[in-house]
Amino acid sequence: MSVYKHKDSPFYHYDFQLKGDRFHGSTGAKNEREAKAFERARRDEAKRQVRPAQRLSCDLEYVGGRYWTEIGQHHAGADTTFRDIDRLVQYFGPSKLLTEITDNEVAELVAWRRGHRVTRHGKGKKRQELAPLIAPATVNRSATEMLKKLFTRAKAWKFKFDDEPEWKRHFLPEPEEIPRELHSTEASQIEDATRDDYRPIFEFTSASGMRMNECLLRWSEVNWDARKIEKKGKGGRRVTFPITAAIREILWPLRGHHDTMVFTYIAKRTRKGQNLVKGERYPVTYSGLKSAWKRIRMASGVTSFRFHDFRHDFATKLLRETKNLKLVQRALNHANIKTTTKYAHVVDDDLVAGIDQFQKSRSKSRKQTRKAS
């Protein structure tokens, strides 16, 4: 009951909550009807007080900006995070309150994003051709998942949502990922298309199976004495990889190129706006590596192969050689072996041979039994 008679006062009192805030006090009325009228007026006033405060702190512009400052700018792919946040702000409008975003609006966002096409860079005929629609996985990551992250972060800031969208309903089904393996001729094509200064980082990627952001090594993460590489990887988890003879052969000659970063490139031209001087060495960055890979892949003629597929190629070949799924899990730093089972298809030949041998043995046993009978 929102109005009540206080034992120490001749007046009725009110007590109610609105958006997590409590409002209470004396109505100054001695009869219940007048007290309820006062309470209704006080409730309306409280609503007017809460709404402006929400707009100042729970609109997309504020939440997106604060998320970027606290989390987004520290992502390995920070430029992508920034574009995803900005896209949401432009779509809904900067003053849109998160508390007002409904399931229907999220569904409309997904449908809108689903109609976008792959961005093609460069000039020429290929740029002019109609690009394919972006993949369901891209829609999920850049729209639904990004918006959900903003909601999750806002809740950590103690914002309350009376009717948060049901996120599971809005994620598009993604086709099962089939690990892509690099064939020997394709490996040679990529090697031939790679600049000499970028070759060490691509050799390291191929030899370690590390993710793109994990390949941007610092010398402080290379422990020569313990013969292992240690750094933070996906989700902030600790990633380790042994410094094998092949890894040492790649890294050892790079000492002295830069005080902090392991992999560097040589500037091909002077760019004053970027403080680059032709002929000088600079650390390979995440965005720089992505751009370099796009050029290499196009020049090599290798199709349907992403940078992340170097990791799949490494895992596939390692499992084929060792037949040890647990070992591959450790090499990839997977927290759960279920993630590693996607590579189990590479031992299908052994499975076929084993079943074939079993069936032959059973058939031979049956023949001997019948002959004895």
Residue pLDDT, tens place only, 71-104: 988 876 788 899 999 999 999 998 899 999 999 9
- Is residue 282 assigned to a domain? yes
Residue 80: inside a domain: yes
Q: Which domain holds residue 80?
A: 71-170
- Largest Cα–Cα separation, the chain: 108
CA distance 72 to 113: 21
Identity of the amino acid at 263: F
Based on the fold, state whether residues 344 and 304 are members of the same structural domain.
yes
One domain, residues 335 and 191: yes
Per-residue pLDDT at 203:
96
Q: Which residue has tokens 């792919």?
A: 77
Indicate whether 41 and 78 sit together in one domain: no
When mean pLDDT is compared across 21-30, 201-210, 270-279, the lowest value belongs to: 21-30
User: Is residue 82 domain-resident?
Assistant: yes
Crossing angle of helices 145-156 and 78-92, rounded to 10°: 90
Q: What is the DSSP string of 153-173?
A: HHHHTT---SS---GGGGPPP
Please indicate, yes or no, if residue 34 is contained in any of the structural domains. Answer: yes
On whether both 110 and 190 belong to a single domain, the answer is no
Amino acid at 111: A
pLDDT of residue 58: 84
Pure H helices in the chain: 32-57, 60-70, 78-92, 103-114, 125-128, 136-139, 145-156, 184-193, 199-208, 245-251, 286-300, 309-322, 325-332, 337-340, 348-372
User: Quick one: what percent of the chain has pLDDT higher than 90?
Assistant: 54
From 123, 147, 170, the end of a domain falls on: 170
Tell me, yes or no, whether 48 and 94 share the same domain. Answer: no
215 and 340 part of one domain: yes
Q: What is the CATH classification number for the domain harbouring 290? A: 1.10.443.10
Which carries the bigger pLDDT value, residue 326 or residue 76?
326
The total domain count for the chain is 3
Position 23 pLDDT exceeds 80: no
Query: Is 96 in the same domain as 208?
Result: no
Q: Which long-range contacts (CB under 8 A, 24 or more apart) does 236-244 make?
A: 237/333, 237/335, 239/210, 239/214, 239/333, 240/333, 241/208, 241/210, 241/331, 241/333, 244/207
- The string of pLDDT tens digits covering residues 260-294 is 999 999 999 998 888 899 999 999 999 999 999 99
Q: Which residues contact 368 (CB under 8 A, 6 or more apart)?
A: none
Same domain, 194 and 145: no
d(CA 353, CA 258): 51
Residues 122 and 248 in one domain: no
Look at residue 268 and tell me if it is in a domain: yes
Tens digit of each residue's pLDDT (9 = 90 or more) over 353-368? 667 776 777 666 666 6
Do 163 and 19 sit in the same domain of this protein?
no
